[in-house]
Chain A
Amino acid sequence: GAGVSQSPRYKVAKRGQDVALRCDPISGHVSLFWYQQALGQGPEFLTYFQNEAQLDKSGLPSDRFFAERPEGSVSTLKIQRTQQEDSAVYLCASSPRSDYHYEQYFGPGTRLTVT
């Protein structure tokens, strides 16, 4: 079946613009994660959804970052007033379970470049 998809694959934004990154998880997967991966670094957790509920947003770096999953399927990560330090790859992962997430399936990521 289809894996996790993300769009766009590449996004260039001028500093101060708003961007929206989309994640389509594997159909039926309950849990969805967003991670931020700076160049040359390991991914870092941003936020977690169980169905439509955002259960953990402790990793969001500022109030400019906002994520939603209104119908418990597709999720959107929005970054307002982008800054250069927001340049990174944004990875989405989904998991079929709500308790243990040892099966996380990753999408190909969106590379965001803020100029």
Chain B
Amino acid sequence: AQTVTQSQPEMSVQEAETVTLSCTYDTSESNYYLFWYKQPPSRQMILVIRQEAYKQQNATENRFSVNFQKAAKSFSLKISDSQLGDTAMYFCAFMKGAQKLVFGQGTRLTINP
């Protein structure tokens, strides 16, 4: 079974700083997808970024980028120029093919003014 581990329960940074959230996963599969989801207090899960395992290039979406290390099974999220609106729970998730998402425990990120 696949597992996803987020070792940072909480993080806090000042506005405009850069922050990196860590995620490791365990799988024997060779092709899969990795995701970072944001969950603000409204509870709506919002997709931040997605990475396909067979693509070596790290995905980027505006201020959000990932560092995908397939051999190390590591998938960290970097948020540049952090904004107050980035305050939320962040979940790392794994998916293979036509199966369900497997989520980590989450990291609570607070951006301070």
Contacts and interface: CB of A to CB of B under 8 A. Distances in A.
Given A99-B98, A100-B97, A102-B95, A42 B104 contact: yes
Interface stretch (B42-50, B64-72, B80-88): B42-50
A59 B104 CA distance: 16
Contacts of A89: 43
B76 interface: no
Interface string A25-45: 000000001010000111111
Contacts of A106: 44-46
A102 B45 contact: no
Contact count band on B:
20 to 34
B106 A102 contact: no
A111 to B, nearest CB: 8
B111 interface: no
A91 B64 CA distance: 25
Given A102-B95, A106-B45, A108-B43, A41 B100 contact: no
Contact of A48 (B43, B100, B105): B100
